[in-house]
Structure 1
Amino acid sequence: MKVAIGGPLKLAFRPWVEGLENIPAAGAAILASNHLSFSDSFFLPAVLDRKVTFIAKAEYFTTPGVKGRLTAAFFKGVGQLPVDRSGARGAGEAAVKSGIEVLERGELFGIYPEGTRSPDGRLYRGKPGGLARVALATGAPVIPVAMIDTEKIQPPGKVVPKLMRPGIRIGKALDFSRYQGMEGDRFVLRAVTDEVMYEIMKLSGQEYVDIYATAAKRQITEAAKAEKEAEKATKAALAQAAKEQKEQQEQAGQAGQREQQEQ
């Protein structure tokens, strides 16, 4: 499945890659990537000779329709693991457990430290609960990865992708063995996560925002809602003003008619 989809994908979009030599030929490693587009999980596995297993939200495997079936087939074909995110804590524990199992088999484990796609192309604060815990529990090196321009190929809501060349920059492995056994220390988890995010920022050239992407999405949604409500209120006010003006004109016209009749 990876060959069947990866080949045409590379032929059609011709993604450029820097730093492939930083991917080990064998052994466990964590690929920590920024997340700009749904297509990130297609392009990164397509350019690697080794299989990389990502944690994918369960909806990717259960969405109805032709697109949903194709998406599910791709993720299953390249070995992606579905995780039910309906319970935040349970989903986090499932992701950590799955990541550890992948790495214990000596394979590549892919993770998006931001936890969700960037809503505006900027790089957001990494969540320490997954990446850092898996890295410290296994001792696996963390390889920072930057996806470039994938959000321009298939922005959220767009079904048909735009044919253009995305880029992938792969950095040198980061060793956190000095912290091994300290995965219960939240300050250590934050330090590890921030170091990885800094390396991703250098590779991607993105502006860094020190809040979680989920919070940013919530702010954007609330701002859009407030703007829509303000627009609705403005239209209502204009309609009311127009109605009152019309009534005044009608009253003025009726008064004029009465004056003429009295004369």
Structure 2
Amino acid sequence: MFYWVVKRFIVGPLVNLLFRPWVKGLDNIPASGGAILASNHLSVSDSVFLPVAVDRPVVFLAKSEYFTGPGLKGRVTAAFFRMSNQLPMDRSGGAASARSLGAGEKALLDGKLLGIYPEGTRSPDGRLYRGKLGVAKLALATGVPVVPIAMIGTDKVQPIGKTVPNIRRVGMIIGEPLDFSRYAGLEDDRFVQRSVSDEIMYAIMRLSGQEYVDAYASTVKAKLDAQKKEAKAEGARKGAAGDGPDAAA
């Protein structure tokens, strides 16, 4: 109830006034019953714009770090994500990730809409990256349809690292639901899971027009972070050498 009041009377009017989001294909979202809303992920604000556009409540799986940050900022962030109907998603793998997916599975079996970002993290450069298997596992385990969604322009509103959003228009394109009932009984087959995940990402790519990269976004982010650290260390080494006794030679 609290979520509905905040969305209807506070967040929704504010978002519509400032960002004037346009939406195509809203009728592709089922009017009732469980369904997975699988979206590309360009900005942390994606989890605000999509629920505002949809009449039904949307539960999101969000990375657990959003709920465990230190200090006042961490508490405010955690409160915001809980208030916006989001569940913590542990991405460390193993039993912890399985429990997180279990919470999403329960939401779907209870007839709710579950929003998920198959890439697992925000795109580091605006391209679309390989989908992880969590979305496929949920779709196969519950039998619910998967609705592919493309967020448009949200990376310009709130790029990675920017706290205060830019005021500009954003868009959403909602595709036709994907049915994977043909794989009934093959829920644990890793090849089937990969096939389902790839089909979902292909549908998102067609809607978004993004360049597709057959690699995990998390892997690319880790490489970029390592390169930045190396460049910073190299700069520090050169700075230290420049301050030595032979610097003016």
TM-score (norm 1): 0.85
Paired residues, number: 243
Equivalent position of 2:122 in the other structure: 117
Identify unmatched segments of 5+ residues in structure 2.
1-5
Aligned residue type for 2:39:
S
> Which protein is bigger by CA-based radius of gyration?
1
Contact 2:34 2:110 in 1 (8 A): yes
Shift of 1:219: 0.6
Secondary structure (helix, strand or coil) at the match of 1:55 reads strand
Of 11, 21, 26, 2:17 maps to 11
Work out the percentage of aligned pairs sharing the same amino acid.
Answer: 57
Higher share of residues assigned helix: 1
Over residues 117-138 of structure 1, what are the superposed CA-to-partner deviations in whole Å (9 max), with x where a residue is unaligned?
A: 111111111001x111110111
User: What does residue 108 of structure 1 align with?
Assistant: 113
**Which aligned pairs between 1:209-224 and structure 2 lie closer than 5 A?**
209-224=213-228
Q: For 1:92 and 1:58, locate their aligned partners in 2 and report how far apart those are by CA, in whole Å.
A: 10
Partner of 1:188: 192
Kept in 2, the 8 Å contact 1:137–1:181? The answer is no
Alpha-carbon distance in structure 1 between the residues aligned to 2:64 and 2:242: 46
Aligned position for 1:172: 176
Gaps of 5+ in 1: 246-263
Residues in 1 aligned to 2:112 and 2:153: alpha-carbon distance in whole angstroms: 27
| Aligned counterpart, 2:163 | 159
Distance between the aligned counterparts of 1:91 and 1:172, measured in 2?
32
**C-alpha deviation, 1:240, in angstroms:** 4.5
Q: Which residue number corresponds to residue 46 of structure 2?
A: 40
Equivalent-residue separation in structure 1 for 2:246 and 2:95 (angstroms) = 55
- Offset at residue 223 of structure 1 (A): 1.1
**1:155 Cα deviation from its structure 2 partner:** 1.6
Show the counterpart of 2:101: 96
Question: How far is the alpha carbon of 1:77 from its aligned partner?
Answer: 3.0
Distance (Å, rounded) in 1 between the aligned partners of 2:245 and 2:173: 57
Distance 2:181 2:36 in 1: 13
Q: Is the 8 A contact 1:10 1:47 kept in 2?
A: no
State the partner residue of 1:58.
64
RMSD: 1.9
CA distance in 1, matches of 2:201, 2:207: 10
Cα deviation, residue 62, structure 1 = 4.0
* Residue identity matched to 1:152: K
- The 3 A distance-change label for structure 1 pair 242 and 124 is same
Q: Is residue 2:209 matched to residue 1:205?
A: yes
* Matched residue SS, 1:231: helix
Deviates more, 1:59-68 or 1:89-98: 59-68
Q: 1:182–1:70: structure 2 CA closer, same or farther, 3 Å change rule? A: same
Paired AA for residue 119 in structure 2: E
The equivalent of 1:150 in structure 2 is 154
Partners of 2:224 and 2:184 in 1: CA distance = 38
For the Cα contact (< 8 Å) 2:152–2:172, is it kept in 1?
yes
- Residue equivalent to 1:126: 131
Q: Which residue of structure 2 aligns with residue 233 of structure 1?
A: 237
Going from structure 1 to structure 2, the CA distance change for 1:174 and 1:84 (only over 3 Å counts) comes to closer
How far 1:96 sits from its partner (Å)?
1.9
* In structure 2, distance between residues paired with 1:71 and 1:233: 37
**CA distance in 2 between partners of 1:174 and 1:55 (Å):** 20
Counterpart residue number, 1:77: 83
Equivalent residue for 1:20, pick from 19, 26, 51: 26
Is contact 2:60–2:86 with CA below 8 Å preserved after alignment? yes
Does the Cα contact within 8 Å between 2:59 and 2:115 map onto a contact in 1?
yes
Give the letter aligned to residue 94 of structure 1.
R
The 3-state SS of whatever aligns with 2:215 is: coil
1:2 equivalent to 2:10? Answer: no
1:222 alignment partner, SS class:
helix
